[in-house]
């Protein structure tokens, strides 16, 4: 049992032995069938016309010869029946094996029984020597994948597998690398989310604690009560956005049902809350397949972000551009520098100079991007089309057909 255990644990050895054994069994079966066919041909009773003449060419025997069944070592025996009814027997002694000068090709190798044994031995040696390096090289890639998976399971999330070839092993390596990259990104995102969330949660909690200490058991003033309520609302909003961001990053499937959503109607409802000016392309309804509550959250975050920084009117435009439904939220705020237009969609990122007192925790735009990507769309920041100060946030989603 101890001698067989290394073979049972090594996949390349098992495959190699299976290939070698299969070829040898096949060659052995072919040899048996060939040997049986040769014996059948030797023992059958063929009928031949036999004419025996003397030196002057006179016919001595003219009849039909029937080959008798004899062992191969006894030669060939014919029973001849002449036309006049007489019966003769002709016996040929066994032929002495001798290699003719022209017998140096395949016929010499396939002559039973020695030819078959040589063929079997050569096939076995060729298969044993030739197949082993091929199978070993193939299985080495699986062993590399096994070691990488083990390291990944031990906590090294940066490990990747070399992608060689275009077969199933290479496809498995590519899938592992993609899954490992996704998991590493997700873990890093969660670590960053947790670190930033702890910082953001500490700020309103500190302000509440300081307010309670300053109150010293007295009745809170209306301003103090309003400040406490604002901090509690900020905490509630932060917890809600952290949970939603975590579920979206993890690809949770229970975030809602996808259904046709009237983007124009949703924009009207949300635009009224911030007194935004609504612009609709040609007045035709624009529908998108989406989770209604997530899409509403994305539009609301864009509008609240515009209201927080805008120093003038807010414009909300809904149009259909080819296969996409496009929603633009434009403000008259300080704008976003081109170098910062991608970073503002990162979780907990604020523009330089932004104050926590202005509201928001830096998750609103990150949620908008996550929601857009969840629906197969995108969001970007660009300059106002009229060249005025401010910024435009463009949310693009696949429109319903």
Tokens representing residue 80 in the block: 């001849």
Q: 279 with 364, same domain?
A: yes
Q: What percent of the chain has pLDDT over 70?
A: 73
The domain boundary residue, chosen from 250, 283, 303: 250
Cα torsion 362, 363, 364, 370: sign: positive
Helix axes 364-374, 292-309, angle to 10 degrees: 150
Residue 51 within any structural domain of the chain: yes
If DSSP states are collapsed to H, E and C, what string results for the chain? CCCCHHHHHCHHHHHHHHHHHHHHHHHHHHHHHHHHHHHHHHHCCCEEEEEEECCCCCEEEEEEEEECCCCHHHCEEEEEEECCCCEEEEEECCCCCCCCCCCCCHHHHCCCCHHHHHHHHHHHHHHHHHHHHHHHHHHHHHHHHHHHHHHHHCCCCCCCCCCCCCCHHHHHHHHHHHHHHHHHHHHHHHHHHHHHHHHHHHHHHHHHHHHHHHHCCCCCCHHHHHHHHHHHHHHHHHHHHHHHHHHHHCCCCCCCCEEEEEHHHHHHHHHHHCCCEEEECCCCCCEEEEEHHHHHHHHHHHHHHHHHHCCCCCEEEEEEECCEEEEEEECCCCCCCHHHCCHHHCCCCCCCCCCHHHCCCCCHHHHHHHHHHHCCCEEEEECCCCCCCCCEEEEEEECCC
**Which pLDDT score is estimated for 395?**
94
Mean pLDDT for all residues in the chain: 76
- What pLDDT sits at residue 250? 62
**pLDDT tens by residue, 268-309:** 888 888 888 888 876 677 899 998 888 988 898 899 888 888
pLDDT at 101: 46
Domain total of the chain: 4
Domain presence at residue 102:
no
Higher pLDDT, 232 or 306: 306
Whether residue 78 lies inside any domain: the answer is yes
Among residues 131, 123, 173, which one has the least CA distance to residue 152? 173
Q: Is the pLDDT of residue 390 over 80?
A: yes
Kindly state whether residues 336 and 378 are assigned to the same domain: yes
Could you tell me if residue 350 is inside a domain? yes
- Is the pLDDT at 48 greater than 80, yes or no? no
CA dihedral sign of residues 280, 285, 286, 292: positive
Can you read off the two tokens belonging to residue 361? 């925790």
Q: At a CB cut-off of 8 Å and minimum separation 6, what does 47 contact?
A: 64, 65, 66, 67
Q: What is the mean pLDDT of residues 321-327?
A: 90
Q: Is residue 184 part of a domain?
A: yes
One domain, residues 338 and 268: yes
Report CA-CA distances (Å) from 89 to 46, 75, 92, 151, 303: 15, 13, 10, 85, 117
User: Are residues 240 and 269 part of one domain?
Assistant: no
User: Which pLDDT value is given to residue 61?
Assistant: 77
In this predicted structure, the answer to whether residue 249 has a pLDDT above a threshold of 50 is: yes
120 within 8 A of 35, measured Cβ to Cβ: no
263 in the same domain as 358: yes
- Note whether 175 and 141 are same-domain residues: no
The pLDDT of residue 382 is above 80: yes
Structural domain containing residue 119:
1-38+109-156
Q: Is 163 domain-assigned? A: no
Residues 6+ away with beta carbon under 8 Å from 105: none
pLDDT in tens, 58-117: 777 777 777 665 565 566 777 777 777 777 777 777 666 554 544 444 455 455 555 666
Whether residues 296 and 394 share a domain: the answer is: yes
Q: Please report where in the chains the tokens 């979206």 appear, as a residue.
A: 248
What is the structure's pLDDT at 8? 46
- Tokens representing 23 are 């070829």
Of the candidates 202, 277, 260, the residue with the CA atom closest to the CA atom of residue 397: 260
Rg (CA), the chain: 45
| 236 and 116 assigned to the same domain | no
Q: What is the pLDDT of residues 330-351, one digit of tens each?
A: 998 888 888 888 888 887 777 7
Q: Record the pTM.
A: 0.51
298 shares its domain with 214:
no
pLDDT band at 393 (very low <50, low <70, confident <90, very high): very high
- Identify whether residues 199 and 336 lie together within a single domain: no
Does some domain include residue 100?
no
- 241: CATH: 1.10.287.130
pLDDT > 90? residue 381: yes
pLDDT digits (tens, 9 = 90+) for 355-364: 554 555 577 8
* Percent of the chain surpassing pLDDT 90: 8
Same structural domain, 314 and 387: yes
The CATH number for 373's domain is 3.30.565.10
164 upstream amide cis, omega within 30 of 0? no
Q: Is there a domain that residue 8 lies in?
A: yes
Give the end of a domain, one of 250, 274, 290: 250
Same domain? For 85 and 136 the reply is: no
List the structure tokens of 338.
């081109």
Euclidean distance between CA atoms 161 and 177, whole angstroms: 7
């Amino acid at each position: 049992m101890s001698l067989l255990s290394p073979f049972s644990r090594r996949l390349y050895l098992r495959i190699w032995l299976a290939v070698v054994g299969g070829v040898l069994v096949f060659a052995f079966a072919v040899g048996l069938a060939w040997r049986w066919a040769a014996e059948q041909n030797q023992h059958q009773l063929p009928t031949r016309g036999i004419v025996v003449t003397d030196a002057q060419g006179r016919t001595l025997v003219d009849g039909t010869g029937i080959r008798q069944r004899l062992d191969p070592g006894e030669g060939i025996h014919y029973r001849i029946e002449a036309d006049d009814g007489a019966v003769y027997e002709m016996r040929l002694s066994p032929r002495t094996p001798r290699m003719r000068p022209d017998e140096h090709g395949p016929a010499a190798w396939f002559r039973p029984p020695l030819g078959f044994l040589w063929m079997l031995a050569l096939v076995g040696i060729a298969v044993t020597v030739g197949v082993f390096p091929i199978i070993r090289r193939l299985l080495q890639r699986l062993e590399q994948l096994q070691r990488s998976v083990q390291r990944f399971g031990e906590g090294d999330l940066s490990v990747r597998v070399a992608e060689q070839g275009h077969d199933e092993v290479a496809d498995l390596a590519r899938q592992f690398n993609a899954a490992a990259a996704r998991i590493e990104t997700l873990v890093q995102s969660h670590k960053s989310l947790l670190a930033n969330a702890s910082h953001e949660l500490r700020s309103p909690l500190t302000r509440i604690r300081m307010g309670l200490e300053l109150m010293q058991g007295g009745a809170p003033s209306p301003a103090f009560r309003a400040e406490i309520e604002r901090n509690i609302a900020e905490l509630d909003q932060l917890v809600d956005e952290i949970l939603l961001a975590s579920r979206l990053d993890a690809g949770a499937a229970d975030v809602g049902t996808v259904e046709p959503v009237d983007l124009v109607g949703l924009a009207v409802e949300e635009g009224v809350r911030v007194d935004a000016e609504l612009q609709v392309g040609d007045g035709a309804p624009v529908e998108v397949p989406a989770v209604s509550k997530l899409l509403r959250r994305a539009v609301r975050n864009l509008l609240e972000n515009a209201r927080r920084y805008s120093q003038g009117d807010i414009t909300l435009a809904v149009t259909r551009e080819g296969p996409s439904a496009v929603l633009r939220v434009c403000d008259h705020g300080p704008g976003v520098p081109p170098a910062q237009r991608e970073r503002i969609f990162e979780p907990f990122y604020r523009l330089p100079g932004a104050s926590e007192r202005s509201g928001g925790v830096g998750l609103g735009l990150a949620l908008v991007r996550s929601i857009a990507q969840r629906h197969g769309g995108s969001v970007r920041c660009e300059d106002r089309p009229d060249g005025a100060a401010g910024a435009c946030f463009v949310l693009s989603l696949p429109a319903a057909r």
